[in-house]
Structure 1
Amino acid sequence: MPRNTAPDNKDLPHAAPGVDAQDDTAEQGLPTAIVSLKVIEALASAPNGLGVTRLAQLLGMPKARVHRHLSVLREHGYVDQDPDTNQYRVGWQMFLLGRACTSRFDVMSLAKPILEHLRDQVGQTVVISTFSDNEVVVIDLLRGTAPVEISLRPGTRFHHNSVAQGKIALAYGAEKLRRAYLAQALPASTRHTIVDPDRLAAEIELVRRRGWADAPEELYIGINALAAPLMQANGELFGTLAIVGSIHYLPSTPDPAHVQALLEAAVQISAAMGYNGKPTR
């Protein structure tokens, strides 16, 4: 089953190997955990990211120690590194942590009536996800009403090439994300997973043309998903809305009514987040 990446005590940055707590405390007069939080605070204040040198200057720390904190935080999903610029920025795990700590902007609450209506229309599990450079991350979901229930939980991660949500991220996300992902080895989950970069690139173009994605039995045998983009007010991709269910209920040639219901719900949720255009890339 998919692995749940919600952090527990042993996964917190100050407990991970590679950071010398005594050294940092002596140097900075602060516990290692606080130094890690200050690294995250600095990155959160820099939308375009920061390099190691600039971050070390801002924090008044040696570059080597900043790099060690960044390495551990990146390993656990708290920061990401841009493959083109090597700049660091806050990662998807911070998104999930922030979602758990605040209710100021909770897309599930904002979209709940729309999600419930979609779930009732299609009878399947409805999932909202965000994404990182290499993976889709489940934010939350509504269980379906079909006899066969798909087990998911917030924090579950999937490779982009194995799920419909990932194809949306590649189709509507930044060009550099798409280039970097297509340049690496593509992992296989089943014999149906797309692992050829040229074929995946063609699939991405198809997704852009029709505005939605599917992935019949590409993650698990017997499971399919339909996904559509969720756009933010600034025109950037927020994440994805997906219907997930048994291949019996979501066949490889999907019901046009299911596709239409999904697209309408995605447009409504995007509008609720302030977006009033048409998703394009």
Structure 2
Amino acid sequence: MDDVSGKAERLGTGTSTLDMALRIVEFLAAQDQPLTLAQIAKAFSASKATVYRHLVTLQRHDFVRQDKETSRYEAGVKLLMLGEAVRNRFEVATAARDELSGLRERTGQAVTICGMVDGKLVVLDLLHGRTVIEFGTRPGTELSIHATAHGKVWLAFAKPALFEQTMAAPLQAWTPKTIVDPARLREEIDTVRAQGWAMAADELLTAVNALAAPVFNHRGEIAGSVAIVGSTQFIAASPDGAQIDEVRATAHRISERLGWREKE
């Protein structure tokens, strides 16, 4: 049973027609290039006639667009509009927009900001760096909590329940360097809490590192996390002091925009 079917079973019967239409939209949004009707139908093990009917309706409402020359289909502009509207609801992403651009220009690295959405650590915004390396991460991507710099920041500064919940499940070893021992991870999180920043060299992807710091709201609660991401060639396992200062200062300024004030 796939994830969509499982979710439908838990929520009730639902409407199968709407279910397929939504799955088509989600499928097209995840593609790097437009697809033919046959390719889409094959992906859903459905007839071309059935898929075509859904595409026509989705296209009418701008959720899907069809290239006039190739007749291929891709996600439509309506998704971009809705995505931007939803992202604006996440105050931390809105407050961070200008600061993220500045951090990228000063460091040359990709920049990400994350938030906790329905108990999942999610990328809210991403700006690619000036290096030749680009990452497949995009807004909406769910990140591992125990194996990323963003996740370690959340484990260090969120309520203790998040840490205990994370420890209750098996810790997946994404690479040979992923920390999967609970005791060792607890020590790591204590260090992050003390120093105010986190890194995760080679822990999620080999040869990739990230350096993250927490963003706080007006109540002093963690509201997000900001990070630079790059190859270990540019962000070493022992980060450069200037990089640490840049990330922490950026997180500090975003926090102030959210009404946070440092205790004297």
Does structure 1 residue 250 correspond to structure 2 residue 235? Answer: yes
Residue of structure 1 aligned with 2:9, choices 17, 33, 38: 17
Question: What is the number of residues matched between the two proteins?
Answer: 197
Alpha-carbon separation, structure 1, partners of 2:88 and 2:121: 22
Q: Residues 133, 219 of structure 1: CA spacing in aligned structure 2 closer, same or farther, 3 A cutoff?
A: farther
The more displaced of 114-123 and 210-219 is 114-123
Alignment of 1:42-57 (within 5 A): none
What secondary structure does 1:192 align onto?
coil
| CA shift for structure 1 position 99 | 6.5
Residue equivalent to 1:3:
none
Contact residue 92 and residue 224 of structure 2 kept, 8 A: no
Query: One-letter code of the match for 1:113?
Result: D
For the pair shown, the structure with the greater C-alpha radius of gyration is: 2
SS in 1 for 2:9: coil
Aligned to 2:260: 275
Paired residue for 1:187?
Answer: 172
Aligned pairs for 1:1-281 within 5 A: 16-21=8-13, 100-101=85-86, 103=88, 106-131=91-116, 135-277=120-262
TM-score (norm. length: structure 2):
0.67
Partner secondary structure for residue 16 of structure 1:
helix
Q: Distance in 2 between matches of 1:153 and 1:144?
A: 13
Are residues 116 and 184 of structure 1, via their aligned partners in 2, closer, same or farther at CA, if it must alter by over 3 Å? same
How many angstroms apart in 2 are the aligned matches of 1:169 and 1:125? 20
Q: Which runs of 4+ in 1 moved over 6 A?
A: none
On the 8 A contact 1:189/1:220 being kept in 2, the answer is yes
Indicate if the aligned counterparts of 1:99 and 1:106 stay in contact, CA closer than 8 A: no
**Structure 1 stretches lacking a partner, 5+ long:** 1-9, 23-32, 34-96
Give the partner amino acid of 1:137. Answer: V
Deviation (angstroms), 1:110: 2.5
Unaligned 5+ segments in structure 2 are: 20-81
Structure 2 Cα separation of the partners of residues 220 and 178 of structure 1: 22
| Cα distance in 2 between the residues matched to 1:209 and 1:132 | 26
Amino acid at match of 2:187: A
1: CA distance between counterparts of 2:162 and 2:145? Answer: 11
Q: Secondary structure at the match of 1:157?
A: coil
SS of residue paired to 2:143: strand
1:160 offset after TM fit, Å? 1.1
Q: Distance in 1 between matches of 2:150 and 2:125?
A: 13
What percent identity do the matched residue pairs reach? Answer: 39
Higher mean C-alpha displacement, 127-136 vs 189-198: 127-136
